[in-house]
Amino acid sequence: MYSISGLTFLCVLIINVFDTKCEDYAEFNQKGVFATVFTPFNDDGSVNYKVIPKIATYLKYNGIDGVVVADTPGEGPNLNLCETKKLLDSWTTAGRPLGLKVVAQIGGSALPVIISLAKYAANLQVDALLVLPTPYYKPEDALQLVSLLELVAKAAPSLPIIYNDSHLSGLNVDMVSFFKLASERIPQFKGLKTKLEVALNVKSSNNLREDQNIYISDYLSISSALQAGFDTFFDVTASVYPELILEIIKSCKNSDDTAAIEAQQKLSHLTNKIIAKGGVIPGLKAAAEIVTGYKFGDPRQPLQPVSQEDKNDIKTILEENGCRISAF
């Protein structure tokens, strides 16, 4: 028989074990480059899950540290609940053996859908949640936005939470105030994905904890972000030509400012020309298909597919800039 003091010690020990496990799991300290991945579609418009292992291998082989699944470039808000769950299944199954970290974007939908995806992602043990706000009835201030994230945190208490400060959300909330309040009220709140200008304001106005970071999503400012002390990037261009971002990072680490500027200019110029031909998602998705040789398919309506003429022009742009072209 246990004594009362023995039982008390045992209970405290069990609680501490579980608490430690939860805290350890809620860490998200991975640095480097995360590719915001496209969702591949078949000709009939269904999601092409079968090609995901090939895409994962391509990204890992080319130096990518992790993937952001179902974000806006991946048309996450244009997927139904079952598709998103199966997409997360596919990426965790394909990415985990390769050592790719998986960040699940679960927002941009009705609140019950967001909560359902948070619970599902927690069961899959993804590495972190990236959260867009609800799309129509939007939070109007920092307090309302933090309250929304608190519901997500309650649904997935073991997962780190990163807020997705996307301009596509149409939200007009001060990120400096939001970051401070979220840090105070949500222990799992690990940071913010945003543009460099916002990141600089948030960083200068908040004392980031050691377990927090600001994730830059701004292909035009990779070199500037590195010079400002930022070290982790969530970017869609890493799904197309990861070697360009890695070249910028390498040059900055070697203090080769000239090479870093040249690589940044190449990334910016190339991406802008592709977007001018086909738009952000359709154009870059077509470019990824040309570079990798894997079928990504057309984007979903209301996004319009890239014409064959524009695809040919995009291929020429890639070739002129020295990018690898698949022989598919």
Task: Output the DSSP codes for 1-45.
Answer: ---HHHHHHHHHHHHHHHHHHHHHHT-----EEEEEPPPPB-TTS
Q: Is 120 left (phi over 0), alpha (psi -120 to 50) or beta?
A: alpha
Catalytic one of 193, 203, 277, 311: 193
Please enumerate in sequence order all residues whose Cβ is within 8 A of that of 53, keeping only pairs 6 or more positions apart, or say none. Answer: 90, 93, 94
CB-CB contact of 170 with 196 (8 Å): no
Query: How far out from the chain centre does Cα 262 lie?
Result: 26
Asked if 163 is an active-site residue, the reply is yes
CB-CB contact of 107 with 129 (8 Å): no
CA-atom Rg of the chain in angstroms: 21
Q: Measure Cα distances from 144 to 69, 138, 240 in Å.
A: 25, 9, 36
Catalytic one of 163, 215, 241, 294: 163
Asked if 137 is an active-site residue, the reply is no
Using DSSP's 3-state secondary structure scheme, residue 189 falls into strand
Strands (E), 154-292: 161-164, 189-194, 213-216, 232-235
Q: What is the set of active-site residues?
A: 163, 193
